[in-house]
Amino acid sequence: MSMSRFPRLRQISASSRSFTTSARSNTSLSALARPVAEKISAEWKGTSMTGGTTKNFIGGQFVESKADKWLEVHDPSTQTVLSSVPQTTSEEFDQAVDAASHAFKSWSKTSVLTRQRFVLELQHLLRKNADAIAGSIVLEQGKTLADAHGDLLRGLQVVETAIAATSTLLGDKLEVSKDMDTYVRKVPLGVCASIAPFNFPAMIPLWTIPMAAVTGNTLICKPSERDPGAAMMIAELCRQAGLPDGVLNIVHGQVPTVNAICDHPAIRAISFVGGDRAGKHIFNRGTQNGKRVQSNMGAKNHAILMPDANKNLALNSIVGAAFGAAGQRCMATSVAILVGEAQNWLPELVERAKKLKVSGGFEPGADLGPVISPHSKERITGLIASAEQDGGKIALDGRGLVVPEYPDGNFIGPTIIEAGTSMRCYQEEIFGPALVVLKAENLDDAIEIINNNRYGNGAAIFTQSGATGRKFEVDVNVGQIGINIPIPVPLPMFAWSGNKGSVLGDIGFYGKSGINFYTQNKTTTSLWRAEDAVGNRATTAMPTHH
């Protein structure tokens, strides 16, 4: 989500907005996509998939923005305009923060049991409406339908874990002296903010909404302007689940909205997931303004294939982890290191990648869909081309892929590049369906490659040797490790733990870290002397501690 990749703002009048875009979308969406888009537009208040507008959500109400600048949301498979998203005005942003500040006064004092009941009801409503939310993700983001359901499910798991707040919010208490107690309570921060990327339009908002709400905070959420529909639908479900007005507010836009979040004095904490440039900007600007910030940024995740690995498991795992979601995952396997005799597996890796079906997300059997935008496609193909310029070899080239049913889609086929660590295609995050393949003579050399990379989100190894797996676990310097697991993202009873250049901030997402991010400790020491109880006799002895 680097700032250089934001779509351009455009001026649009209210009178032309619905007519021109709805006319285009009714004729351009595929036969599979059109009924889904029409159903979402008819049944959900905050979003449109047929050329209308995306609303702000302020104080519990979906509000039409008065913005004079709007951004178009396109279906990546057809370029159909699905919706127009406002650059939320400064007045509207202030209204959202005011609503959150007002709601915090009462929500922070609501019992943890009441907040837990909201999360319980939200998880029920998310499951009930999973098909609709997944449909919006396919339309706006381009994922396959199965992958869109996975996007929602991983967020839903955070919701379900947040239900345990009655245990995870327990404090500490100790009688430090006779009749003197010291106890620590976890109390909410206040108004918090969440800035979400385009690649997980449901999961990332659900990393923050339940954690912020169950701990007693209120939240300003800015979904990606490329695919805000899922977040708007989640907001509607939060309202149905009984979340009071103002606890959750949703605003939209690009740099002006991001800067407003970083600068507003009422906002106490910011959670961000996205690219390096935006992540560093938000962390630096937010922390300079005294805010707590967690920033998860770029990645270059490696997988080592040892000669003793289960070959079928290893190759299938790499293909799925490299090309699923068109490679647009911060935990995608983007580098495979073939060790020793495993270097002979490259032709079979290429053959398996060739068999993947690339098509629109609603198409039966589709393995991966388009990338998010024409600009992303251009950037990805440019990085692939740089490999040839730098002396690499393209073993499988997906740049010329044509999907006849979707001639205007942002499609790139699975691509495999034989490269070296000095090449641009290795040094930069491609964020597309391109796998860089490196070769190493032994495990030590492979681990050294990973440790020398500036990123540290995750790494994996495929081996049938427990000793090899143990050495890898101990010696590799990344935050999340997979042994015979290609995408080692921890479930939310644990916490996200990327490191090195992938992260700024020292408190992770969800799990125990999530509780700590959204709370601060309040420590009280009290003295209630038993001898002062009403009815006791007075004493003249010198008081002492025992």
Catalytic positions are: 330
Residue 486 amino acid letter: P
Task: Quote the strand ranges of 169-263, DSSP E.
Answer: 172-177, 180-188, 191-195, 218-222, 248-250
Tell me whether residue 185 is exposed, middle or buried, using C-beta atoms within 10 angstroms of its C-beta: 0 to 12, 13 to 18, 19 or more.
middle
- Please check whether residue 74 is in contact with residue 82, taking contact to mean a CB–CB distance below 8 angstroms: yes
Alpha-carbon distance of 526 to 455, in angstroms, equals: 47
Nearest 5°: CA angle at 262, between 260 and 266?
80
Q: What does DSSP say about strands 218-222 and 191-195: parallel, antiparallel, or unpaired?
A: parallel
Degrees (nearest 5) of the Cα angle 139, 145, 151? 90
Token pair for residue 151? 């996007």
Residue 299, helix vs strand vs coil? coil
Nearest to 60 by CA among 198, 190, 183, 235: 235
Neighbours of 522 (CB within 10 A): 11
Local structure of 350: helix, strand or coil: helix
> β-strand 81-86 against 52-53: which pairing, if any?
parallel
Place of tokens 């038993």: 530
Which one, of 252, 286, 274, 300, lies nearest residue 509 by Cα? Answer: 274
Give, in order, the Cα–Cα distances in Å from 38 to each of 19, 78, 141, 473.
Answer: 15, 16, 17, 49
Residues 498, 479: contact at Cβ < 8 Å?
Answer: yes
Instruction: Tell me the C-alpha distance between 194 and 385, whole Å.
Output: 35
Answer for the pair 199, 326: CB distance below 8 angstroms, yes or no.
no
Give the whole-angstrom CA distance, residue 426 versus residue 388. 12
Distance separating alpha carbons of residues 95 and 76, to the nearest angstrom: 33
Take residue 141 and report the two structure tokens written for it.
């983001």
DSSP state, residue 205: H
Whole-angstrom CA distances from 430 to 68, 368, 380, 381, 417 are 34, 16, 6, 9, 12
The continuous run of DSSP H or E covering 380 comes out as helix 374-389
For residue 411, give the DSSP letter: -
Question: What is the C-alpha to C-alpha distance for residues 205 and 392, in angstroms, rounded to an integer?
Answer: 39
